[in-house]
């Protein structure tokens, strides 16, 4: 090969990957490493960072705002897995083999068109104190007509998870439908002939066959919910009084509002470690289950 | 029974959508929470859009956002396709590791890159600058695009490359004239995904821009949101929300056929 005048695969082959590597290295990996370093410093963004060891991480442990933020993030994770993912699965199972199923799913798909910021605009006027939600409760003669949905933690986080559910259910349902339509028909038919139906059929035949897809959908939702930022920022900016902050919002506020760049980096590192750990543990349990079945 | 549950749940889901549309069409001064459910009978949406346009300066923001969400994914696609071609077709040594390095970028949370970007962008005069936004959106778009393009090129027969080589074409020319056109469907699919991602971004815009002409539209919209509490009429905010969501909706509807058969991301 080397002796040929022009080798089959050409010369300067590294030139093909280098632009991609350059972009990713300079704009993603280098900042990543630098943030990791900054988490060990005292840094206000103006003067140069001063090495401070693990001081920021110590402060992290005693920061009440971080504790609230961690609790809210956990609520986001649990809420996301129960509501958009869980209800999405329900809608998918109910509609996947119904005639006109796509039409039944349309109402759930519409909200997906709104971005996080658009979502905030729609829901803030529904959820404010004399907003539409309270008007509706009052008109129906139901209690709670003066609820301040976004005023107190952790209720405001739960209200926002509901808003998120309104937007995300459709996509999750769609992903599950694709999965349901692609599972083999033979085992389902066989089980039907054996007399399985309804819940039994779902629990013992359909659910196990959907496993690979469920793993992906749940995994994506898990990682996304840990990084929740947009909807909180637009609806409450993490307030009132930091009561609805998530880790993503806390990082932003500590850094760019409180100008504590060192501590902000520490929160970012913490968020990254939590996300990485959660993904790892989740994937491990999934792989274990696969092995157990094999 | 299943249809009944679906229909009821669907109706509940339509309520906020209904409220959004009805109140976006309401004259800006006529909003009353007690009557939010009743259509006003007016078609004031155009006037609301115009007011939002001025209030949040959506015009400049929309133009810039359109620039970011088309140019960045386009550059990212070419860069990623080049990398995929190098790794799969030209069989670069250690190709798998190069690929892992590029694709690994997807697992970095945005929060881990914000601070250095903000500081360095300020130093390099890229802060609040359109070029700066194009660069970072490109970088963020590269890993996923590389993932898809690598998969795609794996499905293209190597004999195509060999035949073109025998005819004397250079490797770069084969890339431009054969491999890139061949992967149109995959390129279009990623382009739509990345367009939507950039269009909807809030965090990077919030951190790296300031002026209303450079600021992406979602950031402008979230600023309008804070104004809602300060007394900006609700119909105006809702109208702005609708307008800003329109491009992604239109793009998805226009390309539905592409996605209808499942994402054409795997096979040639």
Higher pLDDT, A23 or A220: A23
Of the residues B55, B111, B205, the best mutation for testing chain A's interface (the one with the most A CB atoms within 10 Å of its CB) is B111
A62-67 average pLDDT score: 93
Smallest Cβ–Cβ distance between B245 and the set A30, A115, A227 belongs to A115
Per-residue pLDDT for A154 more than 80?
yes
Query: What are the pLDDT digits (tens) for B46-69?
Result: 888 888 788 777 778 889 999 999
The CA distance from A275 to A262, in Å, is 20
pLDDT at B226 over 70: no
- Cα(B96)–Cα(B88) distance, integer angstroms: 9
- Cβ pair B57, B244 in contact under 8 A: no
Query: DSSP letter at A6?
Result: S
What pLDDT is recorded for position B259? 56
Closest residue in chain B to residue A226, using alpha carbons only: B109
CB-CB under 8 Å, B207 with A111: no
A140 close contact with B: CB closer than 8 A: no
pLDDT digits (tens, 9 = 90+) for A131-142: 788 877 877 777
Q: Is B92 on the interface with A (CB under 8 A)?
A: yes
Are the beta carbons of B179 and B157 closer than 8 angstroms? no
A102 vs B: CB within 8 A: no
Q: Is A120 on the interface with B (CB under 8 A)?
A: yes
In this complex, do A234 and B119 lie within 8 Å of one another by their Cβ atoms?
A: no
**Whether A281 contacts chain B with CB within 8 A:** no
Share of chain B above pLDDT 70, in %: 91
Q: Is the Cβ pair A32, B242 closer than 8 Å?
A: no
> How far A288 CA sits from the closest chain B CA (Å)?
23
Please tell me the predicted confidence (pLDDT) of residue B232. 64
Read off the pLDDT band of B266 (50, 70, 90): very low
pLDDT tens-digit series, residues A6-60: 678 887 889 999 999 999 999 999 999 999 999 999 999 888 999 998 999 999 9
Decide if pLDDT at B203 tops 90: yes
Residue range B79-85: average pLDDT? 97
Q: pLDDT tens-digit profile of B146-175?
A: 999 999 999 999 999 999 999 999 999 999
In 10 A of CB A155, how many CB atoms?
Answer: 15
Q: Does the pLDDT value for residue A84 go beyond 70?
A: yes
Contacts of B86 in chain A (CB under 8 A): 13-17
Please indicate whether, in this complex, the C-beta atoms of B10 and A104 are within 8 angstroms of each other. yes
- What are the chain A neighbours of B92 within 8 Å (beta carbons)? 13-14, 16-17
What is the pLDDT averaged over residues A93-100? Answer: 85
CB of B109 less than 8 A from some CB of A: yes
- Mean pLDDT is lowest, of A256-260, B49-53, B89-93, B132-136, for B49-53
Best-predicted range by mean pLDDT among A197-206, B133-142, B237-246?
B133-142
Give me chain A's average pLDDT, please. 88
Q: What is the mean pLDDT of residues B133-151?
A: 95
Is residue A183's pLDDT more than 50?
yes
Chain A CB contacts of B237 below 8 Å: 121, 125
Nearest CB partner across the interface for A126, out of B16, B104, B114: B16
| pLDDT value at residue A2 | 43
For residues B27 and B236, is the Cβ–Cβ distance under 8 A?
A: no
Q: What is the mean pLDDT of residues B71-84?
A: 97
Question: Which of A1, A23, A179 should be substituted to probe chain B, the one whose Cβ sees the most B Cβ atoms within 10 Å?
Answer: A23
Among the listed ranges A129-143, A189-203, B140-154, B190-204, which one has the minimum average pLDDT value?
A: A129-143
A1 falls in which pLDDT band (50, 70, 90)? very low
Q: Does ipTM surpass 0.85 in this model? A: yes
**Is the pLDDT reported for residue B264 higher than 50?**
no
Which of B79, B82, B262 faces A178 most closely, judged by CB atoms?
B262
* Rounded average pLDDT over B221-250: 76
Helix (H) or strand (E) holding A185: helix A185-193
Give pLDDT, residue B265.
47
d(CA B175, CA A19): 15
- Helical packing angle, A30-38 and A261-293, nearest 10°: 120
Q: In terms of CA atoms, which chain B residue is nearest residue A181?
A: B262
When pLDDT is averaged across residues B130-141 and rounded to a whole number, the result is: 96
Whether A96 has a pLDDT exceeding 90, the answer reads: no
pLDDT of residue A188: 84
Average pLDDT of span B198-210:
93
A122 to B2: CB separation less than 8 angstroms, yes or no: no
- How many angstroms separate the CA of residue A120 from the nearest CA in chain B? 7
Alpha-carbon gap, residue B217 to B169, rounded angstroms? 45
Q: How far is B155 from chain A (nearest CA, A)?
A: 18
What value, to the nearest 5°, has the Cα angle with vertex B77 and ends B147 and B169? 100
| Mean pLDDT for chain B overall | 86
């Amino acid at each position: 090969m080397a002796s040929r005048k022009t080798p089959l695969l050409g010369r300067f082959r590294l030139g093909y990957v280098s632009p991609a590597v350059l972009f990713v290295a300079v704009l993603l990996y280098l900042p990543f490493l630098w943030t990791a370093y900054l988490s060990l410093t005292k840094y206000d963004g103006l003067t140069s960072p001063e090495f401070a060891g693990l001081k920021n991480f110590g402060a992290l442990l005693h920061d009440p705002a971080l504790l609230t933020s961690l609790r809210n993030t956990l609520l986001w994770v649990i809420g996301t897995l129960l509501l958009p993912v869980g209800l999405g699965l329900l809608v998918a199972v109910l509609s996947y083999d119904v005639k006109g199923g796509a039409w039944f799913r349309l109402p759930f798909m519409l909200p997906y068109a709104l971005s996080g910021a658009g979502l905030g605009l729609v829901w803030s006027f529904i959820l404010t104190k004399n907003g539409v939600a309270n008007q509706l409760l009052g008109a129906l003669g139901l209690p709670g007509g003066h609820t301040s949905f976004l005023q107190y933690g952790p209720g405001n986080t739960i209200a926002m998870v509901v808003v998120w559910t309104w937007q995300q259910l459709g996509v999750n349902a769609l992903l599950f439908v694709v999965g349901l339509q692609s599972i083999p028909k033979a085992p389902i038919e066989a089980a039907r002939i054996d007399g399985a139906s309804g819940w039994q059929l779902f629990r013992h035949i359909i659910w196990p066959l959907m496993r690979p897809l469920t793993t992906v959908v749940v995994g994506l939702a898990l990682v996304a919910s840990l990084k929740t930022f947009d909807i909180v920022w637009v609806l409450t900016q993490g307030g009132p009084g930091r009561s609805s902050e998530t880790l993503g919002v806390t990082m932003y506020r500590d850094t760019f509002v409180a100008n504590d760049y060192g501590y902000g980096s520490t929160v970012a590192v913490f968020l990254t470690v939590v996300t990485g750990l959660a993904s790892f543990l989740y994937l491990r349990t999934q792989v274990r289950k696969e092995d157990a079945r094999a | 029974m299943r249809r009944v549950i679906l229909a009821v749940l669907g109706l509940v889901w339509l309520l906020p959508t209904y409220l959004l549309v009805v109140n976006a069409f309401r004259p800006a001064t006529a909003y009353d929470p007690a009557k939010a459910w009743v259509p006003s009978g007016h078609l004031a949406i155009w006037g609301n859009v115009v007011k939002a346009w001025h209030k949040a300066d959506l015009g400049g923001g929309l133009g810039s956002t359109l620039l970011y969400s088309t140019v960045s994914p386009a550059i990212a696609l070419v860069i990623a396709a080049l990398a995929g071609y190098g790794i799969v077709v030209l069989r670069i040594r250690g190709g798998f590791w190069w690929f892992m390095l590029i694709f690994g970028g997807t697992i970095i949370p945005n929060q881990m890159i914000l601070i250095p970007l903000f500081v360095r962008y300020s130093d390099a005069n890229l802060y609040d600058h359109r070029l700066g936004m194009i660069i970072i959106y490109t970088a963020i778009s590269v890993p996923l695009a590389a993932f898809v393009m690598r998969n795609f090129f794996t499905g293209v027969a190597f004999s195509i490359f060999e035949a073109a080589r025998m005819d004397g074409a250079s490797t770069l020319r084969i890339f431009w004239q054969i491999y890139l056109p061949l992967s149109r469907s995959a390129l279009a699919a990623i382009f739509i995904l990345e367009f939507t991602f950039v269009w909807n971004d809030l965090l990077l815009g919030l951190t790296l821009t300031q002026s209303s002409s450079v600021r992406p539209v979602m950031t402008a919209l979230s600023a309008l949101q804070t104004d809602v509490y300060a007394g900006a009429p609700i119909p105006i905010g809702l109208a702005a929300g609708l307008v800003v969501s329109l491009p992604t909706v239109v793009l998805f509807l226009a390309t539905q056929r592409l996605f209808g058969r499942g994402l054409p991301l795997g096979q040639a």
